[in-house]
Amino acid sequence: MSPNNDLHPVTATPVARRQLFRLGGVTVASAVALAACGKSEAGAPGRVGVGEETPKLADPVVNNGVHMRTMAGIEQSIAAAYTRMIDEELLAVPSSTFPNVGDLSDVVTAFLEHHSAAATTFNELAVGQNAEPWECGNTRLDDAFISVVFDRVENGAEASDAAGAIAASDDPTRDMLNLVHTLESLSAASCQGLASQVTEPALRAAAATIGVASARQAALIALRLNPGGYVSATDAESAQPAVVATTAAPTTTQNIAAPADDSNADATATPPLTEVPLPVAIPAQFGSLAPIGYVGGAGDENGVRLKLNFETPSLNSFAYPFDVCS
């Protein structure tokens, strides 16, 4: 028997294109599996991509210099707001709420000069504390409050998915004058609150001098807008909140399930607008450090006007050493 008879003949089988692709895919998958199962060295975890190291923020030091820089920014924000009112002649338009007030641009101009001088004083005191002067407005006061008021009063608000559009103010002069009273009160309260935060008598004295002038200006604008708004210290202390009767009539005479008397009223009637409170002047040795409420602008679809609470400087509005004017 020939040795070749012990060998089984190999039949050549042609490979189809689909089989070739299948074999190629298996080969690639096998290579990936082998690479994944390969030996790996222990070490630091890998990083996806290339990134910078996490920066370390400077410590938020609060000292006399920070307080002076912050107050300089507050005063410059107020001065800038008054400059905008005067340049855009927002105080010259007759007000339906205050028809007898007239144009108070000259009064607000005098206020502007006071706050510009106050900012200069606070910056000089900041330099005396080895701090850099703050040559712009307070960022938080500008962005979260003053700019919001101007934008709402002049432009209203665009419609969104959750609310309808809001028109520009129905009385912009009223809203600007109320903003003046709010900012004067804010300056006075901020200077008063500074007394317990700084450590040098000279800084307290300077803040008190500026704060007293701002408080008097707040009283002046309040009495110009609301001549009957003078509340004596005695009346303020003895004033009691009004008691509103809330007792309902007996159900035997009142059918609470029945419609109101005006059953034909239009269901789409405009809701009442939020009342804009009139400013008052209260003589006192010390003023309040509570938030100062502001209400203004046109009402939304529910009659609700813009409401803001202006507050004295705190940790989120200080001009820290690492902050710079933009």
CA–CA separation, 305 vs 302, rounded Å? 9
Question: 86 in helix, strand or coil?
Answer: helix
pLDDT confidence of residue 41: 58
Calpha distance 180→224 (Å, rounded): 12
- pLDDT value at position 243? 41
pLDDT at position 293 over 80? yes
DSSP character at residue 310: E
**What would the pLDDT profile of 52-87 be if each residue is shown by its tens digit?**
788 887 778 899 999 999 999 999 999 999 999 999
Provide the pLDDT for residue 49. 66
Residue 247 — very low, low, confident or very high, per pLDDT cuts 50/70/90? very low
Q: DSSP assignment, residue 277?
A: P
Would the pLDDT of 113 be above 60?
Answer: yes
Greater confidence (323 vs 39) lies with: 323
Residue 83 vs residues 90, 136, 138, 172: alpha-carbon distances, Å:
10, 14, 16, 16
- Residue 51: which pLDDT band, with cuts at 50, 70 and 90? confident
At 18, the pLDDT band (50, 70, 90 cuts) reads: low
Highest mean pLDDT among 161-170, 242-251, 256-265: 161-170
Give a three-class secondary structure readout of 192-248: HHHCCCCCCHHHHHHHHHHHHHHHHHHHHHHHHHCCCCECCHHHHHHCCCCCCCCCC
pLDDT greater than 60 at residue 7 = no
Element (H, E) at 141: helix 139-141
Lowest mean pLDDT, pick from 109-113, 133-137, 198-202, 264-268? 264-268
Residue 163: is its pLDDT beyond 50? yes
Long-range contacts of 131-135 (CB under 8 A, 24+ apart): 131/63, 131/64, 131/65, 131/66, 131/68, 131/69, 131/321, 132/69, 132/321, 133/69, 133/72, 134/69, 134/70, 134/72, 134/73, 134/76, 134/319, 134/325, 135/76, 135/325
SS3 (DSSP) at 32: helix
Q: How far is CA 79 from the centre of its chain?
A: 18
Nearest to 278 by CA among 235, 232, 223: 223
Average pLDDT over residues 163-185: 96
For residue range 142-155, what is the model confidence (pLDDT) as tens digits?
999 999 999 999 99
Please state the pTM of the whole predicted model: 0.75
- CB 137, CB 84: distance < 8 Å: no
Tell me, what's the pLDDT at 91? Answer: 97
Q: Taking the domain 64-157+165-233+279-310, which CATH number applies? A: 1.20.1260.10
Residue 220 clears pLDDT 90, i.e. is over it: yes
What pLDDT digit, counting tens, does each position of 97-107 carry? 999 999 999 99
Burial of 3 from C-beta contacts in 10 A (0-12 / 13-18 / 19+): exposed
Distance CA 206, CA 33 (A): 76
Distances (CA, A) of 103 to 113, 223, 224, 252, 310: 18, 15, 11, 57, 25
Q: Does the pLDDT at position 264 exceed 60? A: no
Mean per-residue pLDDT over the chain, rounded:
84
Distances, alpha carbon 141 to alpha carbons 98, 183, 274, 287, 317, in Å? 27, 10, 24, 20, 8
Cβ contact 156:166 at 8 Å: yes
Domain residue limits, the chain: 64-157+165-233+279-310
Confidence label for 244 from pLDDT (cuts 50, 70 and 90): very low
